[in-house]
Amino acid sequence: MFDFEPVARAKLPPWHWAWLSTGGDGSETMQANREGFERYQIRARRLVDVSKVDTSVRLFNQSWETPIFLSPVGGHRTYNPDGELATARAAKSKRHLQVLSTVTTTSVEDVNAARGEPVWFQLYQRDEWGQTRQLIKRVESAGCPALVFTVDLLGGRNMEQFNRVSQRNRQQCGACHLNGQPLTDLRNRPMLNALSVSATPQPEIGTPTWDYVKRLKDATGMKLLVKGIVTREDAELAIQNGVDGVYISNHGGRAENSLRPTVQCISEVAAGVAGRAPILVDGGIRRGTDVYKALALGATAVGVGRPYMWGLASFGQPGVEAVLDILRREFQLIMRQSGVTSVRGIGATQIVDRQRS
């Protein structure tokens, strides 16, 4: 998989690569996400018939061939002309769950058509409740079964390296982005530029709290997940507030610079959830062994973001498919090497925490 990264970097303009590749502050948490997997070792078992392995999982009563899903990433046409359509076709071809970003460069309706079935939708709330409700109703009408409310950026973020590159390339950005401001130019963001001004606006006061989660629950019949949970306390609160799924994430190291990798959050979040809801996780997933370790710690499904975007930027749909193929092949390999024949058999006894051994 790592071979796709330099190809993507060579093909992309500097600003586009900087936005994809950098994290918050000096990208320390992004690096910690990757290094966090080194804490865990895998206990391989022998003389088990592993000629057939079952990698399937169930999420909200739907079966998936693999626990590996495509995390939400905004603006796919920033990296390839076919954008989210290429990603959706790859997800369809390889039968993976896909989560679509609010800041997609392709409408949810067109993505669903390319995918062949509705995707899940990741939600960034708007400053006015009426517009948030418009978004929710649109994706619900499009058939999306799940809404993924992202909360890890509510406190803001500091993208130092991206800001440096953006300043150096302001003139180039001005050629294709309104006023040279790519982050506020919504002309190519169809889920946002279609929002209308409410006749009786309801501006938000302050940032969302758990009361906002209750409001979302009341506004939709879709399953509701909260993305950005990293502690047991918040996992317990999520369940108490009726959340259907908990999504562990620090935005790929682009949110708070906590230096805490998401893989090391799984156990305590799982303790808070206590089996009452599925647990999704992303952040630093680069190999099949990473998927295996995340599942062993208590995750239900494991997401990748940057890797499939490297594939998209490098070769479009075939690149995304190749990345997914590599991950699935590596995951099946470590299952066989470990003597585990189904995802249900992956648990805490299959790994060793080096800090506790």
Spatial contact of 59 and 301, defined as CB atoms under 8 Å apart:
yes
216: left (phi over 0), alpha (psi -120 to 50) or beta: alpha
On the CB side of 123, CA atoms within 13 Å amount to 30
Place of tokens 């990473």: 290
The residue count of the chain comes to 357
Q: Which of 16, 76, 96, 251 is catalytic?
A: 251
Q: How many other C-beta atoms lie within 10 A of the C-beta of residue 276?
A: 13
User: For residue 279, what is the enclosing H or E element?
Assistant: strand 279-282
- 53 near 331, Cβ under 8 Å? no
Identify which of 196, 194, 170, 195 has the alpha carbon closest to the alpha carbon of residue 183.
170
Q: Is 177 one of the annotated active-site residues of the chain?
A: no
Amino acid identity at 179: N
Q: Decide: helix, strand or coil at residue 73.
A: coil
Positions annotated as catalytic residues are 251
